[in-house]
Structure 1
Amino acid sequence: MKRALRPLKTWAFNVPAILSIPALAIPALLFAGTMRAADAPVVVTSIKPIHSLVSAIMQGVGEPELIVDGSASPHTYSLKPSNARALQEANVVFWVGPNLEAFLEKPLEALGSNASVVELENAPGLTKLPFREGGAFEAHDDGDHETAAADDHGHEAAGAGHDDGHGHEENHAHHDDHEEHEHGHGAFDTHLWLDPMNAKAMAAVITTTLVAADPANALTYQANAKTLDDKLTALDKEIAATVAPVKDKPFVVFHDAYQYFEHRYGIRVAGSITVSPETIPGAERVSEIHRKVGELGATCVFAEPQFEPRLVNVVIEGTSARSGVLDPEAATLKAGPDLYFTLLRGIAESMKACLSST
């Protein structure tokens, strides 16, 4: 979904007032007016990882606004009045899409032609993996998936994926019997940003959109995009080296958010406690995962900072598994251009620390 841009605001001069200003002050005022006319469009982003990529490309021009801030999760978020106002003022909105930020779907439709709305889940070159239904996953399998991005690590695919499509708070009490319906809105896992190659693909669309919206700053956007692309290449190699010593050790995660990370780096995940964090797993699923942890000798079970850790403690009780924490949505991180790199490094380092412990 992409709509035409509304005109950007420009500086208006009061000619009589300018004529009354001392001659030496006029050049400075004209320069200020020129800078204002070249200001960036008003840009709004949905979640922290996307905000980070947009921030990196907009450095030196402006700062995008963020909707899902702090420790909030797009799976359970409700739009605030301040968010609605930001959307109304926006020239450009970047989001993953309705399969992740379902709470944004109707508000964005209501914008009409007032903003260019860009669904990054449709970016050319993305690797897309189908969603996984069960909490306990089978052995890794190179299933079919959409991709135009080369996997130069040569890792095996981590199997089928899942879609964390619905973020309504009223879904919190859903039992796991309904999980298949919860994921019927889309056919792919929406945690696309956890593969740096997907971040590159999204950054390309972000850059093209910003250049079209703000040609006056095109060179800055393009230079920043090149820097970002180079940094993502280096990050990819760094993470591969970080997790290489532990990639064959099985582990369990709180919710099935890491498939793109697994797929990129050949990591061995045994299963998730819940397919979707807004869905409370039933006793049967928890028991199944508990058995899986014991049978596979899973080294770690990872919680997430914004969700109740009690279930993780139940799953590891009576086993040799340790608990750790992973933060796929950057709940504990400060928003900004460096967040994406801190996020992926944090996941890799947390995995290595827990899985390599004796």
Structure 2
Amino acid sequence: MRRFALPIAMTALLGTLANAGAALADAPKVVVSIKPIHSLVASVMQGVGEPALLVRGGASPHTYTLKPSDAKALSTADLVVWVGPEMESFLEKPLSSNAAKATVVTLMTVPGMTLLDAREGGAWEAHDHGHEHSHDHGKKDAHAHGHDDDHDHDEVNTHLWLDPVNARRIVTATAEALAAKDAVNAEAYRTNAERALQSIDALDAELKATLAPVAAKPFVVFHDAYQYYEARYNLSAVGSITVNPDRRPSAKRLSAIRAKIAGLDASCVFAEPQFEPALVRTVTEGTKAKTGVLDPEGADLAEGVALYPALMRNLAASLRGCLGG
């Protein structure tokens, strides 16, 4: 009987691998727009399948152009997860044409998602986090991309994943959508989602402790991408260099931001890896403010499950390092 031990073990192993392969083959084809959302979706799909990502590497959704391979992925997708046209304007038309057969989860309209209005102008009052409201399916049309940079944009802040409470909702909405598409693996999605929710809660508590010592210190950001993060951790951003990251700010605006930095004795001005660092040097010239880098989308991080917690920790480390030094 001993001579059968190895074949039986191998048979069991091959059976396990075959089942895993079947699960991957049968999993819904999921396409996700940007890296932070992809990370959260991947956490729900662990062990079942891998979502495809459109905006890869350090590319910005504000300036992204859809590639032929992206169009092909959309054409075969069962499920597409994106923030909404206010964030990924490049996806709005392709979702109607290329992904007409897919179920589309638009996070801006997920029930219970907390949304914040974009702040007006470039110099804000301390702790002015806009108007918080919860959207069901009544989002407003907000395509103000052609406005002059110094004008107000009547739109919602789209960087909603930077609030861990919203990240929880993204995970839950993804698990529900996947379970509806794939009943065979529904339990796996729900188990993964519960594990992800516990990790997000632990991350949230960690970040609160990390950022508490610098909550009162004023700082300026490149553009208004961090409002959810600021509101969650009671941070004191006082302005942004630009309203629209696609457009260079006017000399008048840069002068106003420099005056704000000097008047409030802002501790730090933060650049972003995708955009022009020279603007940060311009507004800090002649002030005591230090400079740092914040990355709201994980441009320099490898895509996957680990990206979201790494992104959130990196923001905390940059803020603590520059404001607390």
Q: TM-score, normalised by structure 2?
A: 0.89
Compute the displacement of 1:217 (Å).
0.9
Q: Which residue of 2 aligns with 1:155?
A: none
Asked if 1:36 is matched to 2:22, the reply is yes
Q: Quick one: which of 50, 55, 58 aligns to 1:71? A: 58
Compute the displacement of 1:144 (Å).
3.8
Q: How does 1:132-211 map to 2 (within 5 A)?
A: 132-141=119-128, 144-147=131-134, 175-177=148-150, 179-180=151-152, 183-184=153-154, 187-211=155-179
Q: Which residue of 2 aligns with 1:348?
A: 316
Maintained 8 Å contact 1:126/1:198:
yes
Pick closer, same or farther for the CA change 1:166–1:211 going to 2, 3 Å: farther
- SS where residue 134 of structure 2 aligns? coil
The count of aligned residue pairs is 309
Compute the displacement of 1:111 (Å).
3.6
Amino acid at match of 2:127: H
CA distance in 2, matches of 1:343, 1:165: 27
Amino acid at match of 1:299: S
Question: CA RMSD of the aligned region, Å?
Answer: 2.4
Q: How does 1:269-308 map to 2 (within 5 A)?
A: 269-308=237-276
Sequence identity of aligned pairs in percent?
54
- SS where residue 280 of structure 1 aligns? coil
The runs of 5 or more residues in structure 1 that have no matched partner are: 1-24, 149-162
Q: Which residue of 1 aligns with 2:194?
A: 226
Maintained 8 Å contact 2:118/2:130:
no
Compute the displacement of 1:39 (Å).
2.2
Q: Which residue of 1 aligns with 2:285?
A: 317
CA distance in 1, matches of 2:316, 2:143: 25
Q: Which residue of 1 aligns with 2:299?
A: 331
The runs of 5 or more residues in structure 2 that have no matched partner are: 1-10, 136-140
CA distance in 1, matches of 2:251, 2:82: 35
Compute the displacement of 1:29 (Å).
8.6
Moved over 4 A (4+): 28-31, 163-167
Maintained 8 Å contact 2:77/2:99:
no
Q: Which residue of 2 aligns with 1:47?
A: 34
CA distance in 2, matches of 1:143, 1:104: 27
Compute the displacement of 1:35 (Å).
5.0
Asked if 1:264 is matched to 2:250, the reply is no
CA distance in 2, matches of 1:165, 1:239: 33
Q: Quick one: which of 78, 83, 93 aligns to 1:91? A: 78
Maintained 8 Å contact 1:45/1:65:
yes
